[in-house]
Amino acid sequence: MQQILTQEASPGRAMEALEWAVQRAERADVAPPGTSAEVRPSPRVISGSPADFRAAASLYLPDVRKLLDRIMMSEDAEAGLDALLESGALAAMLPEVQAMVGFGDGEWRHKDVWKHTKQVVRQAVPRLEVRWAALLHDIGKTRTRSISPTGEVHFFGHAEVGARMFDKIDRRLPLFTKEASLKGSIRFLILHHLRASQYDASWTDSAVRRFAKEMGACLNDVLDLSRADITTKRPEKKRRGLKQIEELAERVLQVQAEDAVVPPLPSGIGDAIMKAFGIPPSRRVGEIKRGLEEAVEAGEVPSHQDAEVYLAFLRENAARFGLV
């Protein structure tokens, strides 16, 4: 049976369907003034079978990826995603995305995840890692929905589940295998897409500093995805959400600027450690300083204090720092 399916599969048909989806996304079906109607692509749906798309992915994976990227980065990515759905490409290649279609907006009174996802993609800045993460950030919701006794809908752990689902997608359809950095960024964004929205004004500078360090090179992408993830129809709620993300971004810059001028630990802390604990100049002193910096970032001890504050912290945690 498998041999028959393979022989009958038409990868060319699948590629034609993907090209049609790209045309939908890039609005090629809207002819500019003075353009003959004959050059417009056909409005009919061009579809393929699951076997067609599997064969295309097997034979022409780089070309498949290029077409999908064009859809993700297009002017009307929503139309392109709908075209992928209509053509059968989603069901065949990204069933985890297909599963979001119609998931919600009904009996359980939570927003339709597919509609939300398409809006997030449209609102996302046109950077490849952010657009792909926007498409995949909520795939874990289909596996994690729970209903409380009071009827509240929850998706506990959906970011973590979504990141593991992304790993499985990449093993099945290795779209990003040859681009380890892009693959890692997309996974990171799926895993951490909720982090910025958890911010509130009560965060200490240490908490902001720790957040920025944990986000690392993906900091701006995380903030941009969080902005795009706000899809509420209530203007005031949207305004508050965007303001919250902007405040976090400003505080990150403020803390980084302060740290660049005045390091979190006081000048001469290394000499103070050597004198207080009888340690000669060595690598060990540097290791203790790094441990103190990590404690500051974790909020265990405040930054920009006198040396005695940090020496007292070391005495209280002598075993942890190997000072007993």
Domain boundaries, the chain: 269-316
- Mean of pLDDT values over 13-24: 97
Residue of 123, 128, 103 whose CA lies nearest to 95: 103
pLDDT number for residue 206 = 87
- Mean of pLDDT values over 132-138: 98
- Residue 4: pLDDT over 50: no
- Residue 105: pLDDT over 80: no
- Mean of pLDDT values over 145-162: 91
pLDDT number for residue 44 = 85
pLDDT-based confidence at 113, cuts 50/70/90? Answer: very high
- Residue 288: pLDDT over 70: yes
CA atoms within 13 A on the CB side of 49: 9
pLDDT number for residue 13 = 97
pLDDT number for residue 1 = 32
- Residue 220: pLDDT over 50: yes
According to DSSP, residue 13 is labeled: H
Per-chain mean pLDDT for the chain: 90
Interstrand relation of 153-154 and 146-147 (parallel, antiparallel or unpaired): antiparallel
pLDDT-based confidence at 38, cuts 50/70/90? Answer: very low
- Residue 302 CA from chain centroid, whole number: 31
Is residue 39 within 8 A of residue 31, CB to CB? The reply is yes
- 49 Cβ contact partners less than 8 Å away, ≥ 6 residues apart: 9, 10, 13, 88, 92
pLDDT number for residue 43 = 66
pLDDT number for residue 2 = 40
Is residue 46 within 8 A of residue 117, CB to CB? The reply is no
Cα–Cα dist 148/194, whole Å: 21
pLDDT number for residue 29 = 54
pTM of the model: 0.80
Of 97-101, 203-207, 259-263, the range with the lowest mean pLDDT is 259-263
pLDDT in tens, 47-61: 999 999 999 999 999
pLDDT number for residue 5 = 42
pLDDT-based confidence at 324, cuts 50/70/90? Answer: confident
pLDDT number for residue 153 = 86
pLDDT number for residue 109 = 60
